[in-house]
Amino acid sequence: MKKTAEVVIIGGGCMGASVAFHLARRGVTDTVIVERESMLGAGSTGRNAGGVRHQFSSESNVRLSIESIGMMERFYEETGFEIDFHQDGYLFLLSDEENFSQFQRNVEMQRRLGVAVDVLAPEEARRLAPGLEVEGVRGATFCARDGIADPNGVTLGFAKAAQARGMEIYRETEVTGIRVESGRVLAVETTHGAISTPIIVNAAGPYARRIGEMAGLDIPVAPIRRHIFITESMIDGAGLSVPANRIMVIDFETTFYFHREGAGILFGMSDAEERPGFDMTVQWEFLEKVNQVALRRLPRLADAGIAHAWAGLYEVTPDANPIIGPAREVEGFFMINGFSGHGFQHSPAAGRLLADVIVDGAARDFDLSPFTFERFTGAKPEGEMNVV
Ligand SMILES: Cc1cc2nc3c(=O)[nH]c(=O)nc-3n(C[C@H](O)[C@H](O)[C@H](O)COP(=O)(O)OP(=O)(O)OC[C@H]3O[C@@H](n4cnc5c(N)ncnc54)[C@H](O)[C@@H]3O)c2cc1C
């Protein structure tokens, strides 16, 4: 293991890999990723639903999406890796009048930024996703360039491209401490020795707060468990009894969502009773709650058995927006944390922005003020409303 590095990145998920890639592009190649697990992408990145969308309520998040989706569309050319990107669209169903009005205002903002989003009547929404029931739905929004991609492909693509330029990866190596002296980062302590460095990137996902504590910082990121269920094959005698494409359907008020996965359906929902914690055990009794909503929107799910389920951790901030940038109290400590359920899709742009901040002291062509660490010290920022 190296004894010194220009930059040490803690965490080998999509964020750590993206930062390494973009630093390498900027010519910073004396970098390492330190990852506790035996492979990259074993944390939240390997447990997510792969959803990628432009449809956010805040301009900053739409801008992150525009840049990230552009990079995903060019991913193979830029890294040589396939990411199985299917742009079959995201369909948001709105049953509450106020939410539908808010979404229509969001669509105006999204269009102003150049994103093509349609407002649909319930019947039009139903035709887009065969099998869907739209009882009680007032309207819907649809963006055809939203979609589903492979999180492991993105992570490995970024990591391998950075490695080819000199970045090193230490797996099965846990960060146990951070040395700070006179307000500056000095070194990272790991289970395999210390690495002296002037720059640390906290890319530890749901463990971001613990890494912050090692440097005397309180980073407001809470780990919240989320479940994903996958059905057995839903091909019957008449063919596939679910949407043939991979459109992502989200019932906004209940947060129930689904998309086709192979011959079955992948689905999930948030649980308002979930408390912060690191437990990722599947709570099978939660499936009952999901089913109460799911069977109303997609009745054919009643005929399908569950083939597979898992749980992972969202990394949630108080305003559901990420933290991208430095901690002013500890020179050399940078964060790319707290993406609150939409981190995979924003990892390409977020990594580019943090690499800019590290190299130039500021992000090129992007106002990072909604994502600063300092924003939590004042009045509660408005944040992101479209959290699923
Ligand atoms: C069920 C679920 C569904 C989701 N669906 C979507 C979706 O559809 N679209 C979307 O965009 N996002 C989605 N997300 C969110 C997305 O997965 C995360 O925002 C994203 O993966 C965060 O990436 P990360 O690299 O910051 O974290 P992680 O992938 O968790 O990576 C952090 C890494 O740090 C390592 N680490 C932690 N502590 C240490 C230490 N002390 N020493 C060394 N290594 C350490 C961990 O082992 C881990 O590999 C979903 C999340 C979940 C749980």
Residue to substitute in 44, 61, 90, 248 for testing ligand 1 pocket (most ligand atoms within 8 angstroms of CB): 44
For the cut 90, the answer to whether the pLDDT of residue 208 exceeds it is yes
- Ligand 1 centre from 346 Cα, in Å? 12
**Cβ 175 under 6 angstroms from ligand 1:** yes
- Ligand 1 centre from 278 Cα, in Å? 12
Work out the average pLDDT over 207-224. 98
Work out the average pLDDT over 303-330. 96
Residue 241 pLDDT: 65
Contact by Cβ (8 Å): 34, 226? no
For the cut 70, the answer to whether the pLDDT of residue 36 exceeds it is yes
Global confidence as pTM? 0.96
Contact by Cβ (8 Å): 54, 65? yes
For the cut 90, the answer to whether the pLDDT of residue 262 exceeds it is no
**Cβ 204 under 6 angstroms from ligand 1:** yes
CA–CA dist 55, 91 (Å, integer): 10
**Cβ 47 under 6 angstroms from ligand 1:** yes
May I ask the CATH class of domain 7-49+151-220+319-377?
Answer: alpha beta
Ligand 1: nearest atom to the Cα of 228: 1
- Ligand 1 centre from 344 Cα, in Å? 8
Runs of H (alpha helix) within 113-238: 122-128, 151-164, 208-214
Ligand 1: nearest atom to the Cα of 50: 8
Exposure of 291 by Cβ count < 10 A (0-12 exposed, 13-18 middle, 19+ buried)?
Answer: middle
For the cut 80, the answer to whether the pLDDT of residue 228 exceeds it is yes
Work out the average pLDDT over 182-198. 98
- Ligand 1 centre from 139 Cα, in Å? 32
- Ligand 1 centre from 42 Cα, in Å? 8
Ligand 1: nearest atom to the Cα of 203: 26
Work out the average pLDDT over 256-283. 94
Which token pair is 341?
A: 């359920």
Contact by Cβ (8 Å): 310, 47? yes
CA–CA dist 270, 274 (Å, integer): 8
Query: Parallel, antiparallel, or unpaired: how do β-strands 222-231 and 264-268 relate?
Result: antiparallel
Architecture of domain 90-144+223-316 in this structure: 2-Layer Sandwich (3.30)
Contact by Cβ (8 Å): 259, 247? yes
Question: Which one, of 319, 287, 365, 347, lies nearest residue 152 by Cα?
Answer: 347
Query: H or E segment at 364?
Result: none
Question: Which one, of 340, 311, 332, lies nearest residue 221 by Cα?
Answer: 340
CA–CA dist 99, 274 (Å, integer): 24
For the cut 80, the answer to whether the pLDDT of residue 289 exceeds it is yes
Residue to substitute in 266, 344, 347, 371 for testing ligand 1 pocket (most ligand atoms within 8 angstroms of CB): 344
**Cβ 146 under 6 angstroms from ligand 1:** no
Residue 243 pLDDT: 76
**Cβ 271 under 6 angstroms from ligand 1:** no
Residue 131 to residues 143, 267, 298, Cα–Cα distance (Å):
20, 14, 6
- Ligand 1 centre from 283 Cα, in Å? 20
- Ligand 1 centre from 218 Cα, in Å? 19
Q: Which residue has the tokens 């400590």?
A: 333
- Ligand 1 centre from 152 Cα, in Å? 11
- pLDDT exceeding 70 applies to what percent of the chain? 98
**Cβ 339 under 6 angstroms from ligand 1:** yes
CA atoms within 13 A on the CB side of 227: 24
**Cβ 163 under 6 angstroms from ligand 1:** no
Question: Which one, of 223, 297, 211, 209, lies nearest residue 258 by Cα?
Answer: 297
Residue 239 pLDDT: 61
DSSP one-letter code for 380: P
- Ligand 1 centre from 145 Cα, in Å? 24
Residue to substitute in 1, 48, 148, 156 for testing ligand 1 pocket (most ligand atoms within 8 angstroms of CB): 48
CA–CA dist 267, 260 (Å, integer): 9
pLDDT band at 181 (very low <50, low <70, confident <90, very high): very high
- Cα-Cα-Cα-Cα dihedral of 200, 201, 202, 205, to 10°? -150
pLDDT band at 235 (very low <50, low <70, confident <90, very high): confident
* Closest residue CA from atom 18 of ligand 1: 343
Ligand 1: nearest atom to the Cα of 173: 43
- Ligand 1 centre from 43 Cα, in Å? 5
Across the chain, what does the average pLDDT equal? 95
Q: pLDDT of 73-109, one tens digit each?
A: 999 999 999 999 999 999 999 999 999 999 999 999 9
- Domain locations in the chain as residue ranges: 7-49+151-220+319-377, 90-144+223-316
CA–CA dist 50, 6 (Å, integer): 32
Residue 131 pLDDT: 87
For the cut 90, the answer to whether the pLDDT of residue 380 exceeds it is no
